[in-house]
């Protein structure tokens, strides 16, 4: 790395890290930093073949981080952008939900009041031209099409649209705008008096969305809340703190962090408390991680509610983003998360052994942890106690639920899993919606009518099975096919509901077959 670039990097580092964490940088001739600099300059200037200096430095950074914990990482500028968009709450583009069907971009729904809806683009439209460049039938990657559609707010893009029943290609000019990205997937009344909120991740807009959801459900008669954090991989710490704070009393500890260069920092409820009185049931599973574990741990340790499901992922390492001059970023672990009772959320790991860490789900399944609570053992040295009722809880990684729900390994057959992995189910749903959208909307003008009266037609089931056969995905025998059909039908009905209505309606259908949601309903009734 050139000296000038190194100076810029160090300056940038010091503008991000607080003063107490700044460390002395040793530039002396025998320092590790000087050694690394000389090695890079020697390779760049003396090596027998031409080398890509940028990639050389990136590989060196990735190599250093791989020897640390599993969550310290490096992202190039494009990866940084893709990583930030779901958390920032918006991006700039044309405002459509879409998917690829037969190498063509199919509009599932235009974003309500977004730029595409304003000019008349409709669900079911196919985008075939972007600024006179063909994007259909040319094997263009989805990422490349997205790059062409997105752009700075206020810029315009010309689209060619093929619409069912219209012979010619329709032309639209769309003025790009800020497009909201929501982090709450579903809000509805699960049962009379019981509200349901599913948070997909913790982003910049999550707290505001949560407050709106609470207000909506309270207007509909909510007395108790089911907060679904299944499959929530985390996000912003402050967003999790703000959401947890709405459930707790002023001054209640939510989480604290502590690291070698970072003294203990506590995060407490501020006292707004929009839902402090009703009962709370938090749903978690083995993919609930990080910020979602902060909320789960705070509710459990403060004896505020009941945590239901399976032991969470166990991601309790705090990352500090360190921006680099070219727009790339280091996410460097600087501290641990601890629940109010003092439990470290992070599960054990071996530095540099990313493979074993990545296989954690498989290891849990082999050891029986996902199917049998008795297979989970905690050392007495990890025992802590909740703050109000002094119930025993354990550290050592993740949040162990109060009510355990075993994973039903028979719910999804091998045939079903292969169909899903190959994209067969999604593609069959999209084709069905594309062919029947108008008749479905006429038959089911409301979701209530759809949920009550819609039955997945045999033609859709047959289309899935036939498409699977073409891709060499077949049931082992008639018995496996018979065991696949009930859950496959539920999933297809949920997907049709999503495409006709929205994600909230998808979860209203799929949750009726969720063992964890069913257990929550059972616990509420006790």
Strand ranges inside 118-252, DSSP E: 126-130, 133-134, 156-162, 170-175, 177-180, 184-191, 194-199, 224-228
Give the C-alpha separation, 477 to 487, whole Å. 17
Interior angle at CA 459, CA 457 and CA 464, nearest 5: 105
**Are the beta carbons of 75 and 322 closer than 8 angstroms?**
no
Give the C-alpha separation, 285 to 231, whole Å. 7
Q: Which residues are catalytic?
A: 290, 301, 315
Strand 280-284, strand 265-268: pairing: unpaired
Give the C-alpha separation, 53 to 44, whole Å. 6
Taking each helix axis as running N to C, give the angle between helix 424-443 and helix 458-470, from 0 to 180 degrees, rounded to the nearest 10. Answer: 160
Alpha helices in 195-236 (DSSP H): 206-219
Look at residues 413, 415, 382, 414 and name the one whose alpha carbon lies nearest to residue 400.
382
Q: Which one-letter DSSP state was computed for residue 31?
A: S
Give the C-alpha separation, 128 to 302, whole Å. 55
- CB-facing half-sphere around the CA of 395: CA atoms within 13 A: 18
Strand 317-323, strand 329-338: pairing: antiparallel
């Amino acid at each position: 790395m050139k000296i000038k670039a190194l100076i810029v990097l160090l300056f940038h580092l010091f503008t991000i890290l607080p003063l107490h964490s700044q460390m002395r940088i040793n530039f002396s001739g025998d320092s590790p930093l000087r050694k690394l600099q000389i090695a890079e300059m020697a390779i760049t200037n003396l090596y027998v073949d031409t080398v890509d200096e940028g990639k050389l430095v990136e590989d060196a950074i990735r190599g250093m981080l791989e020897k640390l914990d599993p969550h310290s990482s490096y992202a190039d500028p494009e990866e940084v952008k893709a990583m930030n968009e779901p958390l920032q709450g918006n991006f700039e583009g044309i405002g459509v939900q879409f998917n690829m069907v037969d190498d063509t971009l199919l509009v599932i729904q235009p974003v309500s009041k977004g730029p595409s809806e304003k000019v008349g683009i409709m669900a079911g439209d196919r985008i075939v031209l972007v600024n006179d460049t063909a994007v259909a039938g040319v094997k263009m990657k989805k990422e490349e099409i997205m790059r062409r559609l997105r752009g700075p707010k206020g810029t315009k893009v010309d689209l060619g649209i093929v619409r069912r029943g219209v012979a010619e290609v329709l032309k639209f000019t769309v003025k790009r705008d800020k497009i909201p990205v929501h982090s709450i997937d579903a809000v509805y009344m699960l049962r009379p008096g019981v509200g349901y909120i599913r948070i997909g991740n913790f982003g910049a807009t999550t707290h505001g969305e949560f407050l709106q959801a609470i207000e909506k459900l309270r207007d509909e008669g909510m007395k108790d809340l089911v907060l679904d954090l299944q499959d929530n991989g985390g996000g912003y710490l402050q967003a999790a703190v703000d959401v947890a704070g709405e459930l707790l009393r002023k001054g209640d500890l939510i989480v604290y962090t502590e690291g070698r260069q970072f003294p203990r920092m506590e995060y407490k409820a501020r006292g707004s408390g929009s839902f402090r009185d009703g009962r709370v049931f938090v749903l978690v599973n083995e993919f609930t991680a990080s910020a979602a574990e902060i909320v789960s741990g705070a509710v459990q340790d403060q004896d505020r509610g009941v945590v239901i499901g399976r032991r969470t992922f166990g991601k309790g390492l705090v990352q500090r983003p360190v921006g680099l001059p070219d727009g790339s970023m280091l996410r460097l672990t600087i501290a641990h998360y601890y629940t109010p009772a003092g439990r470290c959320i992070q599960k054990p790991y071996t530095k540099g052994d990313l493979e074993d860490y990545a296989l954690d789900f498989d290891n849990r399944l082999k050891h029986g942890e996902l199917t049998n609570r008795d297979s989970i053992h905690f050392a007495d040295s990890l025992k802590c106690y909740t703050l109000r009722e002094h119930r025993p809880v354990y550290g050592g990684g993740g949040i162990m639920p109060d009510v355990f729900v075993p994973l039903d390994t028979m719910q999804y057959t091998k045939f079903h899993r292969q169909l899903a992995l190959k994209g067969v189910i999604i593609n069959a749903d999209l084709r069905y919606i594309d062919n029947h959208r108008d008749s479905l909307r006429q038959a089911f003008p409301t979701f209530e009518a759809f949920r009550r009266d819609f039955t997945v037609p045999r033609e859709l089931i047959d289309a899935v099975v036939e498409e699977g056969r073409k891709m060499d995905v077949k049931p082992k025998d008639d018995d496996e096919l018979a065991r696949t059909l009930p859950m496959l039908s539920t999933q297809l009905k949920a997907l049709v509901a999503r495409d006709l209505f929205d994600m909230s309606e998808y979860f209203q259908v799929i949750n009726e077959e969720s063992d964890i949601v069913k257990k929550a309903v059972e616990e509420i009734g006790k």
